[in-house]
Structure 1
Amino acid sequence: MDSRYFTEEHELFRQSLKDFLQKEVVPHIDKWEETGHIERFIWKKFGDMGFFGIPYPEEFGGLDLDLFYTVILLEELQKINSGGFAAAIWAHAYLAMTHLNKEGDQAIKEKYLAPSIAGDMIGCLCITEPFGGSDVAGMRSTAVKKGDTYVINGSKTFITNGVLSDYLVVAAKTSPELGNKGLSIFVIDRDTPGISATKLDKLGWRASDTGEIAFDNVTIPASNLMGEEDMGFPYIMQHFALERLIMGINAHARAEFALEYALEYMKTREAFGRTIDKFQALRHKIADLYTEMEICKEFNYSVAYRLNKGEYVVKEATMSKLQCTKMSDEVIYQCLQFLGGYGYMEDYPMARLSRDSRLGPIGGGTSEILREIIAKMVIDKKDYKPAT
């Protein structure tokens, strides 16, 4: 236990979570990976255990706990070897629900946040568009004010929980002439007329339902606007720090899982009369990979500590996602190699890990975009500020 970040209470929570995942989730993972459908009962069980309410106010059924409980949840979700299941959970709890909590008014929180915490509703966050990718400011979806309603038109893609969720948190342009200063955020019920969704067939994250969503003259009450009109871009940017740190933490956790599994395999696999963990070439490679993983993990804990104190760590979180997802891909590639032919077999975890990990440098902002964002901060001295 690292006493700088984790208390005894944290560790008790970790053990309780591990037990829950092994009992309630792991027996179903292979089926969900095959069908691409996470059964509804598990959402309610997560809600009953309080896992969706970790950072949220007690007023709405949350636990109002510090960020290191979230770190534990993310780490342990990566160690059951289903990036898709993990993504479905954290996309609901930390993408959709973060906007509800931060920008939603009392009525929205009562209608959507409270049942989301309870596991009775599932949410998704709809930002990425078919023509936009990482270019949030270039989105084309529009929300036109008509009396006491907004009419939404456009499309979104690569949306985790995009097919099976109960509500959608959607970014659209309310003032297209203002560019990125004309975005707004809305919450929309799934059964609103004009919404259609198509499930996408992915290389990895097979358990999660990733969708392309179309909005055809979707009319919603003006009260479904979250926060102020035309303030969507700073809201999104503000929450990107958490999203990027989440993906950095996911990366160090799955790399650690891969290394631990590979080491256990190498302790029993014999070649030329000895176990392969005794060969110097492999030992030194393991040493390098462990070093890279531990450096990333320690950096993530440091950034989480600062974010937990309320600091605006967008630069550090961006660095976390960039470096940790790169590290994870390299670690898992090498761990698959350590298993030899067995690493390539679906009966062993490395094949799925390899597919799931590859999304790390793509989702939530590609590595290429992140490098430019970091360059703007460290070279051009651009100062990103939180939404006020």
Structure 2
Amino acid sequence: MLNFTFSNEQEYFREMLREFSLNELLPQYTKWDREKTHPRHLWKKLGELGVNGLRIPEEYGGSGADCVTTGIAAEEIGRGDFNLTYAVMLNALASEIISNHATDQLKKTWLPQIASGDKIVGVAITEPAAGTDAAGIRSTAVHKGDRYILNGEKSGISAATIGDAFIVFAKTDPSSGSKGISAFVVPADAPGVECKGYDDMGNVPIGRGSIYLTDVEVPEENLIGLENNGFFQVMNGFDLSRLLIGLQCAGAAFQSIDETIEHVKTRQAFGRPLAKFQGVSFPIVTHYTQLELIKWQAYRGLWLRDNGKKHTKEASSVKWLGPKYAQEAIHECMLLNGHYAYTKEMPLEQRLRDVIGLEIGDGTAQANQMVIARELIGKQFRPY
């Protein structure tokens, strides 16, 4: 049986989030970018609405929601405030890593605080010399007595300047490549941790930056899962975050299209509404159609994940084309709205800047095409 409908509970959740997103988030969306601040109070508000803890089990303060429901949250929050969608995407990735692999003590310590919005936990993998090639990280974690000593630099980390802790990936066996990587929970205020922000083009409120680790000591119990197994823990999580990113970007683009449709129906040129010109309506139709394709591929991938089926190539196709189609749609909307859309009085220019950032994060277009080729053709024919 093929069924493309959401449950009544999911439809209610969507309607609730749509109303909250458009009425409470959208009016302030550009404010945080201009002020270069993170709206911590809204992150906590999302915790009250159950958004932060969607992928956290009920026993730890979450709702244990399925992946499709989590995707609904990403799409709807993306309409109002693109950057606050990290409360869905980043929390889902961090929560799954901790829920599936950490000790009971780490779960009890961090999961309830992530769900409530009291704590923000980032994921620190990327390094100056290891972006797409995550297995090439150089940060080290040396086991000494009852603790690990971490040294290295993480770069391009979301929530670097606003995070309360980070899931840090480091080499525990430098001779073993990707098999020698482990994951640790590292508090942001631990001695030896220094976080510095970037002056980014977009995603300003999410506090992207670098994390410097100098002889940082963490207890053994902060190790997540098995030693030397961290790389494989996180790779499965990327399949989820990539699907959510596609919906996050689609939400921002769909909202831009909705706003633009209202504009072209009322704005007159040459004695008639702009919407009557095919040069205006056809581009809107093109972008809407492309985004619908991405949207339903994303929900299909989330459904596959919920049902324990392979979804790696679906996730990579959504991550490859979702941000691309979204930024193209938002760019077109900016042009159709005229010169006011180029000002900071409208949200379009910021959406464009914000979405472009996710053409890079969580795997570039080229990296995701490599993943698809590997899944489609076979590992032995993987392109380099």
Rounded Cα–Cα distance in structure 2 between residues aligned with 1:299 and 1:92: 20
| Secondary structure at the counterpart of residue 52 of structure 2 | helix
- 2:122 matches 1:124: yes
What's the CA shift for 1:132? Answer: 1.3
Partner of 2:79: 79
- Is the contact made by 2:141 and 2:148 (CA closer than 8 Å) also made in structure 1? yes
| Secondary structure at the counterpart of residue 206 of structure 2 | coil
Partner of 1:142: 140
Length, aligned pairs only: 381
Letter in 2 for 1:157: S
What's the CA shift for 1:24? Answer: 4.5
What's the CA shift for 1:382? Answer: 5.9
What's the CA shift for 1:68? Answer: 2.3
User: Once the two structures are superposed, what CA deviation does each residue of 1:48-93 show, in whole Å capped at 9, x if it has no partner?
Assistant: 222212222111111122222211210111111x332323x23541
Q: TM-score when scaled to structure 2?
A: 0.94
- Is the contact made by 2:124 and 2:168 (CA closer than 8 Å) also made in structure 1? yes
Partner of 2:66: 66
Partner of 2:30: 30
Instruction: Map residues 15-54 of structure 1 onto 2, 5 A cutoff.
Output: 15-22=15-22, 24-54=24-54
- 2:256 matches 1:258: yes
Instruction: Map residues 150-229 of structure 1 onto 2, 5 A cutoff.
Output: 150-229=148-227
User: Once the two structures are superposed, what CA deviation does each residue of 1:93-129 show, in whole Å capped at 9, x if it has no partner?
Assistant: 1222221112111100001112211222111110111
Alignment CA distance shift 1:308-1:363 (3 Å): same
Partner of 1:370: 368
- Is the contact made by 2:38 and 2:162 (CA closer than 8 Å) also made in structure 1? no
Alignment CA distance shift 1:336-1:107 (3 Å): same
Letter in 2 for 1:148: D
Instruction: Map residues 282-321 of structure 1 onto 2, 5 A cutoff.
Output: 282-321=280-319
Q: TM-score when scaled to structure 1?
A: 0.93
Rounded Cα–Cα distance in structure 1 between residues aligned with 2:304 and 2:89: 22
- Is the contact made by 1:377 and 1:383 (CA closer than 8 Å) also made in structure 2? no
| Secondary structure at the counterpart of residue 291 of structure 1 | helix
Alignment CA distance shift 1:254-1:51 (3 Å): same
User: Once the two structures are superposed, what CA deviation does each residue of 1:236-293 show, in whole Å capped at 9, x if it has no partner?
Assistant: 1111100111111122222211211111110111100001000022222222222211
Alignment CA distance shift 1:251-1:27 (3 Å): closer
- Is the contact made by 1:5 and 1:301 (CA closer than 8 Å) also made in structure 2? no
- 2:243 matches 1:268: no
Alignment CA distance shift 1:57-1:27 (3 Å): same
Rounded Cα–Cα distance in structure 2 between residues aligned with 1:382 and 1:6: 39
User: Once the two structures are superposed, what CA deviation does each residue of 1:333-382 show, in whole Å capped at 9, x if it has no partner?
Assistant: 21112112222122122211111121122111111111122222223346
What's the CA shift for 1:159? Answer: 1.1
- Is the contact made by 2:155 and 2:210 (CA closer than 8 Å) also made in structure 1? yes
| Secondary structure at the counterpart of residue 132 of structure 1 | coil
> What percent identity do the matched residue pairs reach?
34
What's the CA shift for 1:163? Answer: 1.3
Rounded Cα–Cα distance in structure 2 between residues aligned with 1:108 and 1:267: 54
Letter in 1 for 2:118: D
Partner of 1:322: 320
Rounded Cα–Cα distance in structure 1 between residues aligned with 2:95 and 2:248: 19
Question: RMSD of the alignment, in Å?
Answer: 1.9
